[in-house]
Structure 1
Amino acid sequence: WESVKKSLPNSIDIQYVLGGLAPDSDEKMNNEMRYYIQKNWQKIEMTIPGVKFNYDFWKNCQPKRSTYPACRAVIAVREQKPKLEAKMTQLIQKAYYLEAQNPSENNVLIELAGQLDIDIKKFGKNLNAPQTQALLLDDIALVKKLRVNSFPSLVLQTNNKLKLIKIDYNSPELILNQIIT
């Protein structure tokens, strides 16, 4: 994605939209879902050179099927400094996939946000605030309107027309060609 972004013309605006995926829950993830996610990780490792996951997450954490906290964390950063939104997403992904940290835990999200140049007290206050949840629900509504059902996804909007961009992690050129042509 970084190489695609760097190659895009300045006339293209990028808007990150969060899909939500899994609502708030304190319930432990069931074994079937754990197995499904781990199998997806293995599939990704086999198809995208250089991608590795830290499977210690499954031993060291109490996984929950709850992605809304991480989404709200990105929004809480976006509301303070929009330019840091993508960085917060990267920090969450790194913590989850590589450092075996649980991104559904508020303390993990606050620690990650502490690495950014933001007001961390304000972040902590806004993380679970009703207005942050409302903004997440707005993002989710937009995702549904765009008819996006897998994450991540790319959608190009030109003159009120939408085009779903096929993602090929091994070919940034394929992605760019779909956007530019």
Structure 2
Amino acid sequence: MKLIFVGDPMCSWCYGFGKEMSAIAQSMPDLDVQVVVGGMAAGSTQVLDDAAKQFRLTHWARVEQMSGAEFNREALMARKDFVYDTEPVCRAVVAARMVAPGVDLLKVFRAFQRAFYVDGLDTTDGDVLAEIGAKAIAEQGIAVTADAFFEVFSSDEAIDAAQQDFALTRRLGVQGFPSLFVEVDGKIGRLSSGYATAGQITKALESLAA
């Protein structure tokens, strides 16, 4: 049985759900988890003005209330001319998969989430993403330099691989993030859409495995 997690590191509900995903993976260590990046706002050219920032802060407050996740509101409000394009960070997740095929990609995904939502870093910048990605991989005992990560991140292969994840997201019929699917005997079915607790998901998975 495989659990397919479809999300975007710059999706606030995915960030709130991050600790739940980690708890699921820890409680079911033999579970095969596939991380698919959905490209929530990939290619966006929207510059966030104050109204757009306040709109996101409203969502962040709801996520915080539901999940207890920590948000750095000051960093978002202070950022000037910020374009909310999630393609680069999604591509960085894919690049990590290419650089270190055996890496725990969920941990890397969560490192990018924390970088944006807590540390207030610009996760649309390739150099910043390379530093985050290389560090997250190195923390798992795999030596990768930021330069090596950036080279893969900037490649046509990584761009194409990210687009393949976006295409898979569309084929799965994803309409919101996060979304979970289960693959059993080659057949894929939807498990959940939106925020859920680790207990709810684990119970559903155990029922399927019974």
Q: Which amino acid aligns with 1:73?
A: A
Alpha carbons of 1:95 and 1:66: their partners in 2 closer, same or farther (altered >3 Å)? Answer: same
Matches within 5 A, 1:65-144: 65-82=84-101, 83-115=103-135, 116-117=137-138, 118-144=144-170
For the 8 Å contact 1:57–1:102, the answer to whether it is kept is: no
Flag the 1:32–1:59 CA change in 2: closer, same or farther, 3 A: closer
Q: Do the aligned residues in 2 keep the contact of 1:61 with 1:101 (CA within 8 Å)?
A: no
Q: Say whether 1:165 aligns with 2:191.
A: yes
1:20 aligns with 2:46: no
**Residue 143 and residue 169 in structure 1: after superposition, are their counterparts in 2 closer, same or farther (change >3 A)?**
closer
Per the TM alignment, residue 144 of structure 1 is displaced from its structure 2 partner at its CA by 0.9
Q: 2:70 is matched by which residue type in structure 1?
A: K
The one of the two structures with greater contact order (alpha-carbon pairs below 8 A, sep at least 6) is: 2
Number of residue pairs matched?
A: 179
Deviation at 1:161, TM superposition (A): 3.0
| Structure 2: runs of 5 or more not aligned | 1-20, 139-143
For residues 169 and 152 of structure 1, do their structure 2 counterparts lie closer, same or farther at Cα, with a shift above 3 Å needed?
A: closer
Distance 1:58 1:77, change over 3 A: same
Per-residue CA deviation, residues 57-79 of structure 1 (Å, 9 max, x unaligned), is 22332331200100111111110
**Structure with more of its chain in strand, by fraction:** 2
TM-score, normalization: structure 2? 0.76
Shift of 1:138: 0.7
Displacement of 1:31:
4.4
Q: Distance in 2 between matches of 1:111 and 1:135?
A: 20
Q: Secondary structure at the match of 1:16?
A: strand
Unaligned runs of 5+ in 1: none
Q: Distance in 1 between matches of 2:58 and 2:104?
A: 31
| Matching residue of 2:65 | 46
